[in-house]
Amino acid sequence: MLWRKGASEIASLISKGEVRPSEVLESFFRRFEETESKVKAYITPLFEKALERARELDGKKPEGRLFGVPVAVKDNIVIKGVRTTCGSKILENFVPPYDATVIERLKREGALFVGKTNMDEFAMGSSTEYSAFFPTRNPWDTERVPGGSSGGSAVTVAVSSAPVSLGSDTGGSIRQPASFCGVIGIKPTYGRVSRYGLVAFASSLDQIGVFGRRTEDVALLLEVISGHDPRDSTSREVPVPKYTEEIKKEIKGLKIGIPKEFLEFGLQKEVEETFNEFLKKLEYIGCELVEVSLPYVRYAIPAYYIIAPSEASSNLARYDGVRYGYRAKEFSDIVDMFSRTRDEGFGPEVKRRIMLGTFALSAGYYDAYYLKAMKVRRLIYEDFMNAFEKVDLIAGPTTPTLPFKLGERLDNPIEMYLSDVLTVPVNLAGLPGISVPIGWVNGLPVGGQLIGKPWDETTILRVSYAWEQIFPHYEKTPQL
């Protein structure tokens, strides 16, 4: 069954001529047909188109490190000629005329795109219930959420309708669903991967990252999409390591910081117990555990919910019904058209955040809210930098709870926001973070988060790789 194999193994089999790209696509297409009605992970499936392209590649000399490998893509990353909705009614029929930089890079390596995945509208949410089309379900228990906002991308990898997928992470939108779905999800350092062609939510926080079942696959995809891009002013000219080679290096002697504040966030008992077992095993394979302190992380959620909505309020002003996207059918004048379009086109969570952000930026409030939040952001960054003087990386649970039930937090936005309490500080500091599966409780996955120094994705990938040698989590597949 080819759908059980990882991206690196598939690429290797194709390059040796042992399987054809079309055989690979057919296997994943069958898996998609078996699972999709139960989980609803894709907004726009592209399997038939990908299969046609795979047949064209059959018999051709393999070119590129992902030749014939299926990749799913979160629906806020544009692919030329393919509908990109951002999970919103306002962009329901938007077809972009260009490719995102990450898509160009994947195409150059021969990847095949099997679909655009479901997400919380404009990436605002932690459960993929705020999609304008339908909620996505957790494959380990379809009555529960898969996390968000990249829930669809996490689920495609969890059920193996794609071996790897792309997501975006503004406050935990890759790591939190990776934790809830029992897969690996990495958010690289801010500026490592180009944001050109990623539909903006909060520009100083958004970062494209990767989901996979194996560290090797995540490393491969990250290597392909990383690197400077002159079209993105926040993209940095920092050399991209050969992650695929670096991950196999010894981790003995690495110092792992355990922030005492992370364990004060009201963790569910089962999550804390699973995390403590994870730490014991890391110690057993040669890592040294060091207690560190991040005193300002307790202010991360309030700071984030001023900074992110403020940037969203500015970024989403472009959806006015004039140039592209949805336009209200009935209106009396241009102002009425503008307000009706936005009222009908945006969902409740997006409206809530636009209002929060517009208020925080309004005259007389800018200094009291936005400026103060930016100062707190700097203090959080300095907390991490002080901790990194003593340790090589930092570890904590990815989420404070197990996956919650569908609908459970929809009427309580504060509780929903708190599901990202452990991931948000990493975005505010612009650091790389990875969530790896560390155990199961009553059949539900638990994720552990590893946080690296700026530009040091290598160390967290090395620990992830060493961990899966003693805990081969990728062998476990949800029984739908």
Q: Which residues are catalytic?
A: 74, 149, 173
How far is residue 410's CA from residue 385's CA, in Å, rounded to a whole number? 36
Q: Which residues contact 367 (CB under 8 A, 6 or more apart)?
A: none
Q: Which residues contact 105 (CB under 8 A, 6 or more apart)?
A: 224, 225, 227
Q: What is the three-class DSSP state of 438?
A: strand
Q: Which residues contact 90 (CB under 8 A, 6 or more apart)?
A: 319, 325, 326, 341, 342, 345, 346
User: For residue 65, how many other CB atoms are within 10 A of its CB?
Assistant: 21
Q: At 309, list the tokens.
A: 């909505």
> Residue 230, exposed/middle/buried by CB under 10 A (0-12, 13-18, 19+)?
exposed
Q: Count of residues for the chain? A: 480
- What type of residue sits at position 206? D
How far is residue 396's CA from residue 441's CA, in Å, rounded to a whole number? 17
User: For residue 420, how many other CB atoms are within 10 A of its CB?
Assistant: 27
- Residue 257 pairs in a beta bridge with 290, 394
How far is residue 38's CA from residue 137's CA, in Å, rounded to a whole number? 7
CA-wise closest residue to 185 among 424, 437, 418: 437
CA-wise closest residue to 196 among 112, 96, 295: 96
CA-wise closest residue to 276 among 179, 451, 284: 284
How far is residue 44's CA from residue 329's CA, in Å, rounded to a whole number? 25
How far is residue 404's CA from residue 128's CA, in Å, rounded to a whole number? 12
**How do 164-169 and 70-74 pair as beta strands?**
parallel
Q: Are 23 and 1 in contact (CB under 8 A)?
A: no
